[in-house]
Structure 1
Amino acid sequence: MDKGKIFEVELSRWNPLGANPSTEIALPATPYELADALEKARITEDTVYSEEVLSCKLDYLPQFIDPDTMPWAPTPSVSGQRISPGYIPHGYERIEAPKGSLYHYTKTDRLEAILKNGRIRRFGDQECWFCISLADTLRLMEMTVMKEGYPYVDTQGFWRKYPAFVPEDYMILQLEPRYQNGDWVCWNQELSPGCSAELLAQAKEFSELKKGFRGDLKFYQNPQVLAVAPLLEQQTPGMDMTMQL
């Protein structure tokens, strides 16, 4: 892999009538390289396509690769028609709605608006994401926002690096969701068989931590609000954080 590249993916156009044109590209890439790859795979705005991670640096977990958040990702459609909201893109799996409480971490400065609205909003994503336990939530944070300096792709499709993690800047909400229609999904990380066993295990763990709801999730009033800083101070290796509630 060329110097400065993080991972390689294969883009493949979905063609129900026969061969699926595809191409490989190393990322990050310039706009010209991206345009060339899309042209080779014959991917346009009216194309359904898939992407698969072929290789990656061993110290980088491609947990943020989501075709719905990449700047070059076409809108899923068939024959020029937008696919219905029930469509599950490549890499997603529809799951049953989680039972019981849900946990969602957020920045402290967003807490007031969330409590006032009574819902977790998707913002630029297709889903809003939750964990089913406090321990899972802290582990998810450990693999994402606590990774100071690690790269990720934001909901606008831009490459970013995690800033310094300040525990006081984060809160965790324990929510009781209200009934509403909508799909629940998980995002299954797709890695090359050539990746290390450690990386495959990390990807599997990351996939299983998050549960996504396709829509803005409404919740009942007065959720429990937990400050992250004291939770981290109390945490010890192997401790089940759910017991501290």
Structure 2
Amino acid sequence: DPEIKVIAYVRAPTDMYLSYAQQALKGNRYFPKPDSFHRPLDRFLSAWRDFPFVSEFRVRPFDRKRLAGGDVTEDFAGVLQELTGREIALPQTARNRSLSAEQMIVLQNLRRSVLPDHDGKLHPISGRYIRWFLQLNKVEMIGHKPALSGAACGAVAKINRGMVARLNALFPGVDMVLREGDATTWTCGADVADLLADSSPEIVSQLTSLMPHFSPELHQGMTAQARNALEALLSSDPERRRKQLRLTKQMLRDSDCVPAARVIRPKLLRVLAPD
């Protein structure tokens, strides 16, 4: 007879919501409002627990402070070893890279102004900029690490509070905790900036000035505004600076802004070659 053992990792909605909104913006100009982000985890898990042939069911919190080694892969390997009595080696995976708060704002502006008719799907234009953002962040985060505002956190907590109470009663070992924030009613608009605890309008402007779909003058060459943006955004570390310049040069080339790309010299410590 078949025997099924289920291991479920669950993440608190207040921890999950921001990454969910970020993923939504990659293919839409809209994101789910925090007061509509209800996750019926108790119902999903109960259905799995009651599924035919399930002989064992474990629910574990997706919380780095409570995971073995602070890593879900290591934690999962330990659970598998406990269940099977065999050591199972799993390859370590890189952590997901996220956009910065400012990059989220720029991405929404791009979806609104350049791709308003392409909601619900990825697009090569947005994909190109997302890759550039993530590659830059791998070198050094450009902008603020995204964090929920108190109002957004409170709105997510309010709509999920009953679910969390039921979940903890059904599966006592989970001990899920919601971050309550400082408000329970969402009154803000449809701007992703409203979700964020902190962001810099200056960095938003600097990123925008380097993106050809916002600054078409880059097709003729590097603008003074783009020069200043590079000076402000690049790392003070020489090696990181070279990598950031190389990535930006490639982004401009991929956007057919060859004249602008040509003046960037990644191998030099200077931002731009002399005119």
**TM-score tier after normalising by the smaller chain length:** under 0.3
> TM-score normalised to the size of structure 1?
0.27
Higher strand share: 1
Bigger Rg, structure 1 or 2 = 2
Higher helix share: 2
> TM-score normalised to the size of structure 2?
0.25
